[in-house]
């Protein structure tokens, strides 16, 4: 019995030494930052049939990535807007209008079957291969949001 207790005591000491050696020699592997670049292909958003109600929007896209990604990640992504970027208006899953970027602006013509309600704006970045959603916008017939001199600037959400 005494022999067995001695073996347990020796085993405990060896196990403790092994753990201490492992802890001293092991370093935590650095966590690789999540890439800002996604894998989403350019969506095929199409303009709807002509509805009776319409409005127009001249908008710019300024997405605040700083709360979600580091400056290092943003620099590595080399983010910029291109003519392949899109902005579209939706009511649920129904597309109400699509615009490509022209000289930094999106000229969006929105048509809807009825006046009132909200539309959701979506932005696709061809460089980042990702889509972003803006806060809903009230739709009113014959409304004009933004101009070339003072474009509308939606608030975009960045969700990982």
The token duo for 128 is 């980042």
Lowest mean pLDDT among 4-18, 62-76, 136-150: 4-18
Q: What is the mean pLDDT of the chain?
A: 80
Give the tens place of pLDDT for each residue, 26-77. 444 444 456 778 888 999 999 887 788 999 999 999 888 777 788 788 777 7
The token duo for 20 is 């201490």
Please determine, looking at this structure, whether the domain spanning 53-157 carries the CATH number 3.30.70.
no
Q: Give the span between the Cα atoms of 123 and 133, in whole angstroms.
A: 6
The residues spanned by each domain of the chain are: 53-157
pLDDT tops 60 at residue 120: yes
The torsion angles phi and psi of 100, rounded to 5 degrees, stand at -95, 160
Is residue 132 within 8 A of residue 88, CB to CB? The reply is no
């Amino acid at each position: 019995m005494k022999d067995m207790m001695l073996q347990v005591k020796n085993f405990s000491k060896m196990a403790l030494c092994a753990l201490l050696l492992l802890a001293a020699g092991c370093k935590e592997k650095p966590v690789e930052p999540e890439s800002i670049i996604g894998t989403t292909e350019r969506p095929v958003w199409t303009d709807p049939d002509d509805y009776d109600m319409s409005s127009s929007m001249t908008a710019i896209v300024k997405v605040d990535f700083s709360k979600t990604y580091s400056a290092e990640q943003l620099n590595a992504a080399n983010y910029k807007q291109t003519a392949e970027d899109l902005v579209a208006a939706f009511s649920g899953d129904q597309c109400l209008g699509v615009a490509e970027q022209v000289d930094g602006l999106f000229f969006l013509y929105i048509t809807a079957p009825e006046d009132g309600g909200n539309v959701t704006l979506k932005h696709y970045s061809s460089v980042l291969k990702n889509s972003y959603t803006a806060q809903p916008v009230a739709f009113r017939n014959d409304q004009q949001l933004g101009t070339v001199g003072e474009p509308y600037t939606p608030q975009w959400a960045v969700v990982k």
